């Protein structure tokens, strides 16, 4: 005998496959959504951690900004102090310069052959006026002054004959530069 199956087996199998595929697709879609949700939660957590790190770094930067401000103030004070020290050293040198120049002039002036009438110093310019017995004494005196560490650029500004106490004496004027010797 012949059996005829009137049930739509192929349709039922196709529907089962379609349901399986639909179920698998739905499960894959839900799995994909879960994966995206996990990734999103992980990214939000990372963003939160980065924001907290940023806040911490900003607070740390503010602390360092205060320290940097103090360092800048200290550097400015250091510069000011260094310039003051430099000025003090210059003042010490220039105050001792006059003493050294006067010592050199006194040391080189021959007592019995030359007399100084006046001596003036304006900043680094020195002017000497005096009387000498002859031109050789003036020339020797200028050479000795030129040999000094503190006096240089010695030049004879003027020289004239003058009668003093019935003697012919040379009246002279010498100009020179004074400076602290370089070490």
Tokens of 117: 């009438």
- What are 145-174's pLDDT values in tens digits? 998 888 889 999 999 898 888 888 899 999
Which of 33-47, 59-73, 97-111 shows the lowest per-residue confidence on average (mean pLDDT)? 97-111
Residue 54: which pLDDT band, with cuts at 50, 70 and 90?
very high
pLDDT score of 179 = 84
Residue 158: CB atoms within 10 Å? 10
Q: Give the per-residue pLDDT at 97.
A: 80
| Model confidence pLDDT, tens digit, residues 115-144 | 999 999 888 899 999 999 988 999 999 999
Sign of CA dihedral 127, 131, 135, 136: negative
Average pLDDT, the chain: 89
Using CA atoms, how far apart are residues 153 and 147, in angstroms rounded to an integer?
10
Domains of the chain plus CATH, in order, are 50-183 (3.30.1360.100)
User: Residue 183: pLDDT above 70?
Assistant: no
Closest CA to 138 of 119, 151, 165, 157: 157
pTM of the model: 0.53
What pLDDT, on a 0 to 100 scale, did the predictor assign at position 5? 67
């Amino acid at each position: 005998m012949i059996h005829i199956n009137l049930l739509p087996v192929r349709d039922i199998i196709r529907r089962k496959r379609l349901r399986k595929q639909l179920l698998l697709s739905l499960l894959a879609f839900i799995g994909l959504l879960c994966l995206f949700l996990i990734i999103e939660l992980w990214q939000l957590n990372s963003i939160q951690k980065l924001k907290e790190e940023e806040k911490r770094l900003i607070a740390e930067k503010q602390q360092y900004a205060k320290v940097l401000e103090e360092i800048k103030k200290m550097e400015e004070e250091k510069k000011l102090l260094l310039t003051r020290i430099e000025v003090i050293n210059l003042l010490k040198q220039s105050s001792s310069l006059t003493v050294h120049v006067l010592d050199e002039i006194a040391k080189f002036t021959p007592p019995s052959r030359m007399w100084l009438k006046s001596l003036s110093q304006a900043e680094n310019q020195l002017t000497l006026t005096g009387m000498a017995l002859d031109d050789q004494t003036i020339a020797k005196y200028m050479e000795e002054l030129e040999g000094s560490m503190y006096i240089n650029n010695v030049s004879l500004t003027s020289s004239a004959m003058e009668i003093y106490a019935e003697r012919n004496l040379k009246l002279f004027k010498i100009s020179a530069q004074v400076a602290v010797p370089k070490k």
